[in-house]
Amino acid sequence: MIIIEKEVTVRNRAGLHTRPAASLVKLSSRFDSEIFLIRDGFMINGKSIIGVMTLAAENGCVLTIRAEGDDAEAAVNEIADLFEQGFGEI
Amino acid sequence: MRQIDDLKPMVQEKIPVEMLLNSPVKLVKLTNETGLENFITDKNLHRPQLALAGYVGLFTFQRVQIFGNTETLYLKSLSRIARIKALQKICQFKIPCVILTNSNTLDQELIDIFVAAGIAVFMTEYDTTKAFSMLSDFLDDQFSPQLVVHGSFVDIYGVGCLFVGRSGIGKSEIALDLIERGHRLVADDVVMLTSKKESLLMGTGTSLVQHFMEIRGLGIIDIRQMFGIRSIRFQKRLEIVVELEDWDDKETYTRTGLDEKSINIMGIEVSKVKLPIFSGKNITVIAEVIAVNYLLRTYGYDASQVFSDKLNERIRKKSGPKKYFEDKRIIPYFKDLE
């Protein structure tokens, strides 16, 4: 099993609010790998919208994306891209 | 699927002294803001009797120091010089804070020694024994390891059942169905498990999510608003982990229930049931049965064991199945004919 981790920064001004959280979860659910998001040791399932929103990630905060599974690399890269583009909000 | 037993718990290694102000012992600050940012690294408490008497070997200075009546009276019994010396001696150590019980106070010049050393001093009206146990509980809670689990946690007939399984297998739907049947939701999706006194696990939700829930295709709903206060609870002891899985022909599922499985979470053993899912199977009813069966076992009745004993008895008597033909239907067959 492949495990990949990558750090990302929340770039959109409003932070990881409901809409970005939904697009993140939609994207993670497309992969077979298990996706986790980690903030300050608090690790949640990246395919759960409630979980993602629990991070209450504000603009500028750093999260770790972790993927475990065969398509882990693609998953981490695509999710990181989504963060990089600020969920289409910048 | 990531198993619960290989998740890493969060352990608080230190807490600021300021946190003690949230404890139920109603602390009064005697040194204003001094030392509030010190860290407590040990959940145990210490009464520094020997240290005050001058012996500081093995002095567990990193603990919260409790000055009970003994310590306060002892200090009073000393001459002024000896008193100051005694305090200066213990203040050489990096003590996080000092708590005076029984509403005892110290002279201002003694308090000043603590202030100079950057040590916070508090007072409480509780007696030493009571303050000791309250603070121990509080610190034990603050330092207890916690685990964030992806699952649904429901109280079924008073039994705390945690449903885990891959995303989309239907954990939330089972929880919703159980709530409809009068059971109580503790948390959905993000469940915080806290180890209590290294002997049991308490499950709660998070302060943000509380009893909100996501149902796929529907969106976010609020269980408390929809089903009322009796459909929720804030915390519950974890007793059974129900692992939901897609039906696998090759996997062997328990048929008798004689070999009880368990899972180790943060060093605590919890019963585990592996439940295969396929369409047409009513998981909610099975979940209720799991809970009731657990209750029966807890109260000393193990159905699989009772049945197995009955069978062994029959085998011992070598009566075989011909006995069933001899049992006449007119006699109620739940009556024990043997």
Average pLDDT (B54-82) is 92
Is A18 considered catalytic here? no
Q: B9 pLDDT band (50/70/90 cuts)?
A: confident
Asked if pLDDT for residue B312 goes beyond 80, the answer is yes
What is the pLDDT at residue B328? 66
Average pLDDT (B175-190) is 95
Q: At what angle do helices B108-116 and B80-91 cross, to 10 degrees?
A: 20
CB–CB of A45 and B208 under 8 A?
A: no
- CB B146, CB B194: distance < 8 Å: yes
What is the pLDDT at residue B336? 59
**Weakly modelled stretches of chain A, pLDDT under 50:** none
Token match 């110290």: residue? B106
Contact residues, chain B, for A41 at CB < 8 Å:
8, 10
Domain residue spans in chain A? 3-88
pTM of the model: 0.82
Q: Which fold has domain A3-88?
A: Histidine-containing Protein; Chain: A; (3.30.1340)
Both tokens assigned to B51: 């240290």
A90/chain B closest Cα distance in angstroms: 26
CB–CB of B148 and A50 under 8 A?
A: no
Closest CA to B98 of B84, B87, B85: B87
Q: Is A29 exposed, middle or buried (CB count within 10 Å of its CB: 0-12, 13-18, 19+)?
A: middle
ipTM over 0.90: no
CB–CB of A48 and B167 under 8 A?
A: yes
> Which residue is closest to A40 within chain B, CA to CA?
B10
User: Across chain B, what does the average pLDDT equal?
Assistant: 89
Strand ranges in chain A using DSSP code E only, listed in sequence order: 3-9, 34-39, 42-45, 62-68
φ, ψ at A6 (rounded to 5°): -150, 140
Q: B2 pLDDT band (50/70/90 cuts)?
A: low
Asked if pLDDT for residue B331 goes beyond 70, the answer is no
pLDDT tens digits, residue range B105-139?
998 989 999 999 999 999 999 999 999 999 999 99
pLDDT tens digits, residue range B201-236?
999 999 998 999 998 888 899 999 999 999 999 999
